[in-house]
Chains A and B, each alone.
Chain A
Amino acid sequence: MRRFVVGLAWREARGAWRHFAYFLACITLGVGALVGVGSFADSLEGTVARSAKALMGGDVEIRSTRPIPEDPAALVPPGRGGRPAITRVRELVAMAQAGPDETQLVELKAIEPGYPLYGTLVTDPAGPLDTLIGGGRVLVHDSLLARPGLRVGDRLRIGDATLTIAGRVVTEPDRAVGVFSLGPRVIMASEDLDRTGLVRPGSRVRYRTLFRLADDEDAALFRDALAARLPAAQRVRTYAQAQPGLRRFWDQLTMYLGLTGLVALMVGGIGVAVSVSAFVKEKRASIAVLKALGAGSRPLLAAYLLQTLLLGLGGSVAGAILGSLVQPLLAPALSRLLPIQIDLAFSLRAVVRGIAMGVGVTALYALWPLLAIRRVPPSLILRHEIEPRLAGRRPWAAAVPIAAGLAAVALWQAGAWKVGALFAGGLAAALFLLAAGARGVIALARRARWRAPAWRQGAANLHRPGSHAGPVLISLGLAVMLVVAIALLDENLRAELAHRGAGQTPAFFFIDIQPDQAQAFAAVVAGHGAAAPPELTPVVRARLAAIDGEPVDARERAGREDAWHLTREYVLTWAAAPPGHNTLVAGRWWAAEEAASAATTEPLISVEEEIARQLGVGLGGTLTFDIQGVPVTARVTSLRHVDWRSLSANFFVIFSPGALEGAPSTLIATVRARPEDEPRLQSAVVAALPNVTAIPVREVLERIGAVLDQIALAVRLVAAFSVAAGLVVMAGALAITRRQRLYQSVILKALGATRGFVTRVFAVEYALLGAAGGLAGTALGAALAWAVLRWVFEVPWTWAPGTLAAGVLTATGLALAVGILGTRRLLGRRPLGVLRGE
């Protein structure tokens, strides 16, 4: 029996290569997209893991927003290895003044001898660090020197200190790699930072203490020992936990890219189903003969399934090769977002995974059409029917495992339950709607009575027996949906950024204004072009210490390592009335007398609804904050919805007035100004109050826009695979119906139709397919983009008629091109031979 199955599988595949070329191409494109993304993700992960110690700057790090009072050497637990090497780093943002009208937001980094513990700080000129910094000398990043007129040797004023640019920073191993940076790096010696006068109570300084351990010492044990000696506000991490923000960002990005790639495979799967279905139809006669000779459905099914799986394997291997080749194309689009050089490597894991998915998806999509083998009656050999009726019912029972299998593939690719389930659900909904749409279009084509004969015949081709209009519409629609959704998301997000960069948006946020500088600050901005008096808001920095009395430490240790909302720094403020752009959703705002009495007993707080949900605190609950070492417990009396789109100072937690008055606070100011007044306003503030930092909103939005562009480029690159797969499905359907088309074209020619007329018939058919697929896909893409904007980005939807029209027109044009190219060769055939069955 096994020999029969294998033999039949081989014999039937022989000579069918032309037929299966499209099948292979479909799977190759799908697997290529997955392996391309997967390899890139693995290369990235490998690179980050290899350079983890350099990225962190040590084996273990203590990170705090407050000075670490203890001598770090004294914290070191007695270990088996030698004494660890220790160095300390301070980082903060500040304003650098290069001339009377040249000010720039920079990221300062103050280092001590010994830095870096891992990796190399590459400078130009090269040389020992103590010859390049210290004594008022600093190193700056190229992007600062890009400013007109600023060169090595020039002077910079930062805070109260005047410094000399001694050289350039080329690469810095432990650059804190968020995707966004606020400004160019300036590296200085620790004692020079003290001379700037920028480090004061309330200023935003990140203190890092780095340890390099002996080679045989366990970093995790060392971390635990350190953590036990330090208060919770001081985060202790090993290199293995380095750059959690970076990792989260890339994990998310590669996950979504992977799912985008999976769409290509799902589109390709439809091509497989079309191809297998046509193949089974073609083989009906042989199947009937074999059944008449006594072959059961089971070995026949096994033979064809084996054959399909082998083809799926072939296509997947080709896809793995394609994907590995594509990786270097994907990398440049994304690597500009990364501070490190990504070493592109062949990823066996991504390849094996891609091939497994390719074969799995092939089997799942092929199963349904293959099950028709069971329904081919042996009596078929006695009859010659064009569209024979198959025995028995459609194999609905198989639909459940097929759907479950495809959902499992989605979950596997996503690697996360929620996202995977959303993807699978969204895909199922899209497939269902597209299938319903395809039925509607076919029914419409049957009922429509076109006047022009070419149009009538083209439309008739959509609903003729053996037409593949349904699957072609679905695959094309799916690809169009993806591309249109991506374009709309990109466009809407960019429009949103542009909108924020104009109109109501403030020009600057000024931070770190000392309370005694408030009046001077207001005077400076009023005199230098501010459109309105600044809005000054007091802020107090704090860490969350407890929720409802339960220490955050304990919660964090209970496996919530990456719960950023537990460990982040909270910026608190107080207010007598709820700020604008805030709406109460639960509880009520405090009255003046309530606030006054609460100030002396238990302060009241209003919490933003989303963070309250994440923290698991509700009305009547308490949050305890650690404010410069002093615990303050406050009761939640209201929950707020914050419109984050309003670029104004928004807060997660607002205290009742009076409660924080003793705490060390600074002010932040929101200032509006006309764009042309911005430079002199910024320079005036920095000159008068060197410790105040200006955050230029427009510039930050531009940086975000640039990052968005890079991401959009990468996503589009991956989505292009889906479009290619959709076109291959279409071309495959054309190839399958080649014989019918040839027949139709020669009859028409025999009746007196010119080649032009026949071309118009096929053009109408494919243009209608393209237009219908384009319309359905664009509508679904718009719905998808709307949903993502509404619920993920919380950004309002704006119509983009250009993109919507482009979706429909491009789909129509591409379909038309495929149709005309695919039928062109049929037109030259002379009718006689074809009509006589030669």
Chain B
Amino acid sequence: MGSDMIRVQSLSMRLASGGRAVDVLTDVSLTVPAGQFVAVAGPSGSGKSTLLGLIAGLDQPTAGRIEVAGVVVTGLDEDALARFRLARVGYVFQSFHLVPTLTALENVAVPLELGGDAEAPARARALLAEVGLAERAHHYPVQLSGGEQQRVAVARALARRPPLLLADEPTGNLDSATGKQIIDLLVGANRRLGCTLVLVTHDPALAAHADRVITLRDGRIVSDE
């Protein structure tokens, strides 16, 4: 594994909010080696989710440089970013974000199909079975419980075996029992598949599972241990 999966240098993000500028992230730098399980902790509004989104190229920073698996993310245009995510990143959101018009199976198949995988349906079925939802394959998101939706989202994120798995408070909208299933799935992917896992959480108990915990406050790294 010798190389670094993520290199973030002097990252700043300023957002306009209600007419005034807010510094969401200020001069953040960090490096994550491949295969590591990192928890990003901190109170709400500390910039955790923004950091994660910027690493995935879901937005462009105001200043700084991000490199993921050797790709300089901050220099890419929208379509190149999309291809980068497809190839390298699996993302799990706090509020699931399944495509509402597609069934569970179809949602899982989306990244496979975007990658031109001819056996997308069969592999999506297998992935759903891995998260224990084989019998819910043809249900639409509105017909699934929150925990089920998040399991579909995890299966979708893992579909292409991405080297980097980003999870933004994946258990935030779930009860603790359901939340544990999700964490087990994510950590399992990190352990068994060797995915680098960056998990945003404000749950100290959850952060305790990680190899490393980075704490943010007011957009700055206050601890990294």
Contacts and interface: CB of A to CB of B under 8 A. Distances in A.
B220 to A, nearest CB: 20
Interface string B89-101: 1010101011111
Given A752-B111, A830-B59, A836 B49 contact: yes
Interface stretch (B35-43, B75-83, B187-195, B208-216): B75-83
Interface stretch (B50-58, B63-71, B176-184): B50-58
A344 to B, nearest CB: 52
B151 interface: no
Given A750-B91, A755-B78, A832 B53 contact: yes
Contact of A744 (B85, B99, B115): B99
Contact of A747 (B53, B84, B99, B120): B99
B110 A748 contact: yes
B27 interface: no
Contacts of A464: 100-101
Contact of A832 (B50, B82, B86): B50
A751 B114 contact: yes
A601 B84 CA distance: 104
Nearest to A740: B100
Nearest to B87: A752
Interface in A543-596: none
Interface string A455-493: 011001101110000000000000000000000000000
Interface in A708-758: 740, 743-744, 747-757
Contacts of B224: none
A752 B79 contact: no
A460 B114 contact: no
Interface in A737-781: 740, 743-744, 747-757
Nearest to A452: B113
Given A751-B111, A753-B114, A757-B114, A744 B78 contact: no
B101 A835 contact: no
Nearest to B112: A453
Contacts of B84: 752
A465 B102 CA distance: 11
Which interface residue of A463, A756, A830 has the most chain B CB atoms within 10 A? A830
A443 to B, nearest CB: 15
Interface string A265-302: 00000000000000000000000000000000000000
A835 B83 contact: no
B156 A751 contact: yes
Contacts of A828: 78
Contact of B114 (A387, A752, A831, A833): A752
If over half of B's interface residues share one DSSP class (helix, strand or loop), that class is named, otherwise mixed; here it is: helix
Contacts of B93: 835
A461 B106 CA distance: 13
B60 interface: yes
B83 A752 contact: yes
A797 B114 CA distance: 49
B137 to A, nearest CB: 13
A748 B79 contact: no
A754 B82 contact: yes
B191 to A, nearest CB: 24
Interface string B20-49: 000000000000000000000000000001
Given A453-B114, A832-B50, A752 B100 contact: no
Contact of B100 (A465, A750, A756, A757): A465
Given A461-B101, A832-B53, A832-B59, A752 B106 contact: no
Nearest to A458: B101
B128 to A, nearest CB: 16
B142 A386 contact: yes
Contacts of A836: 49, 53
Contacts of B85: 750-752
Contacts of B98: 747
Contacts of B91: 750-751
A691 to B, nearest CB: 81
Nearest to A464: B101
A751 B54 CA distance: 14
A753 B98 CA distance: 14
Contacts of B54: 832
Contacts of B53: 831-832, 835-836
Interface in A381-416: 386-387
A794 B114 CA distance: 57
Contacts of A831: 53, 58-59
Contacts of A456: 102, 106
Given A386-B142, A751-B156, A756-B79, A460 B102 contact: yes
Contacts of B87: 752
A833 B60 CA distance: 11
Interface in A177-218: none
A460 B141 CA distance: 13
13 contacts: A386-B142, A453-B114, A463-B101, A744-B101, A747-B99, A748-B110, A750-B91, A751-B86, A751-B114, A752-B86, A830-B58, A835-B58, A836-B53
Interface of B: 49-50, 53-54, 56, 58-60, 78-79, 82-87, 89, 91, 93, 95, 97-102, 106, 109-111, 113-115, 120, 142, 156
Pick the 7 closest A-B CB pairs, nearest first. A752-B86, A453-B113, A832-B53, A464-B101, A832-B58, A832-B59, A460-B101
Given A456-B102, A755-B79, A837-B95, 19 more contacts: A386-B142, A453-B109, A456-B106, A457-B99, A457-B101, A463-B101, A465-B100, A743-B100, A744-B99, A748-B99, A750-B91, A751-B86, A752-B114, A754-B78, A755-B78, A757-B82, A827-B78, A831-B59, A836-B53
